[in-house]
A and B are shown apart, each in its own frame.
Chain A
Amino acid sequence: MSFINFATKEINCKIVYYGPGLSGKTVNIKWIYEHVRPENRGELVTLATETERTLFFDFVPIEISNVKGFKVRFHLYTTPGQIIYQASRKLILKGVDGIVFVADSQEERHDANLDTLDDMIENLKDYKMDIEKIPLVIQYNKRDLPNALPVDILRRDLNRWNRPDFEAIAIKGVGVLETFKEITKQVLRKLKE
């Protein structure tokens, strides 16, 4: 749920990176964190296992000032991708203003993409949110791997709503910023509606 404070002139929005395990959600927000000016970012919190798999969520607030004196703060969250963490994923979606679906382009992970997308749609339904109305960006990650499926196939199966989508190699920062810019634009536009 977005929150605007006219006293402190702050706008707060929640963006969730959703996707199957190891698709690169944490890599996306870590890249953003590392490349944003220190004065524009808060602390990066990761609740992960010893092997760096996300256990509950990662969180980082990103702030932009001077929008007519307003400060916009995007709260970026990732969900745990592994199947067993279904319950945790649902909790993190609560009050979401925009979603980035990070898909793994590798052929052998395509079923996981589809399962996770179904899981996301179901979770949104439980919160009475319609996937067709919520700001959404699809990212096809790991484009540099030899076993990556053609984008056409990924698009056909995952982007059924014809939403903005981007190819990415998140580990090198390719496509990360474009994805982030697009989702923030959509979230702010929705706020104005």
Chain B
Amino acid sequence: MLNITPEEDRELRKLLTELAKESKSKIVILIDKSGQLISRSESPAFSSDDITFASLTAGNVAASEALSKLLGDKDLNHMFTETEEEGIYMILLDGKYILVVIFDKDSSNLGIIRVKIKRFYPKVKELIERIEERTEKETTVSSDINVEEIDLDSLFE
């Protein structure tokens, strides 16, 4: 389990937003390999469904990773998907997370993205390691969350 405090969330968002700005990309998203969205840059113009995007990206990366293992390679480091107008660059972070950059091909390119990521990668890695360490030390989940109060019946029509 991983949890993020408001302060860490702000730091993470700030880093991802800086990376998005400097690389002139539309949005930068950090997800974990099981498909959970951890954080994203402040990118109001990006309207796609983040949650679905994270799940599909994790599936995509997992399949490519399995393919590379099948070919006898050890690890997948990064991958790139190109649509007509956009580029999606995915790089593995610490073997557990995926940093995803989506950019408009008119305003940026893969070279710029990779150069900028090189600069930000250690910072994001350091921060996420710090979050992991703190999460590990915590033995209980906040008492704010009361399982018994969750009314599943309210979900259905």
Which A residues fall within an 8 A CB radius of B?
1-8, 11-12, 14, 35-37, 40, 42-43, 45, 47, 56-57, 59, 61-62, 64, 67-70, 72-73, 75, 77, 87-88, 91-92, 94-96, 177, 180-181, 184-185, 188-189, 191-192
List the A residue with the shortest CB-CB distance to B146.
A68
Q: A1-B1, A7-B6, A61-B52 are in contact. Are A94 and B154 (CB under 8 A)?
A: no
Which B residues fall within an 8 A CB radius of A?
1-6, 8-10, 32-38, 49, 51-52, 55-56, 59, 62-63, 66, 140-142, 144-147, 149-152, 154-157
Q: Closest 9 CB pairs between A and B?
A: A95-B34, A7-B9, A4-B3, A7-B6, A91-B62, A188-B147, A3-B36, A61-B51, A2-B1
Interface class of chain B by DSSP? mixed
List the A residue with the shortest CB-CB distance to B66.
A87
A6 touches B5 (CB 8 A): yes
Interface class of chain A by DSSP? mixed
B34 touches A94 (CB 8 A): yes
B147 touches A185 (CB 8 A): yes
Please name all residues of chain A whose beta carbon is closer than 8 Å to the beta carbon of B8 when the two chains form the complex. Answer: 7
- Please name 15 further chain A to chain B contacts, defined as beta carbons within 8 Å, in addition to the given A35-B156, A192-B147, sorted by A numbering: A3-B32, A4-B3, A4-B145, A6-B3, A35-B157, A36-B155, A37-B155, A57-B59, A62-B155, A64-B150, A64-B154, A67-B146, A73-B51, A191-B145, A192-B141
Q: How far is the CA of A184 from the CA of B21 in the complex (A)?
A: 39
List the B residue with the shortest CB-CB distance to A185.
B147
Q: How far is the CA of A185 from the CA of B146 in the complex (A)?
A: 11
B145 touches A11 (CB 8 A): yes
Cross-interface CB contact of B152 among A7, A61, A184, A189, cutoff 8 Å: A184
A16 → B minimal CB distance (Å): 10
Q: List 28 A-B contacts (CB under 8 A).
A: A2-B1, A3-B36, A4-B1, A4-B2, A4-B4, A5-B4, A6-B5, A7-B6, A7-B8, A12-B36, A36-B156, A37-B157, A43-B52, A45-B55, A57-B59, A59-B55, A61-B55, A62-B155, A64-B151, A68-B145, A70-B145, A91-B66, A92-B59, A94-B34, A94-B62, A95-B34, A177-B156, A188-B150
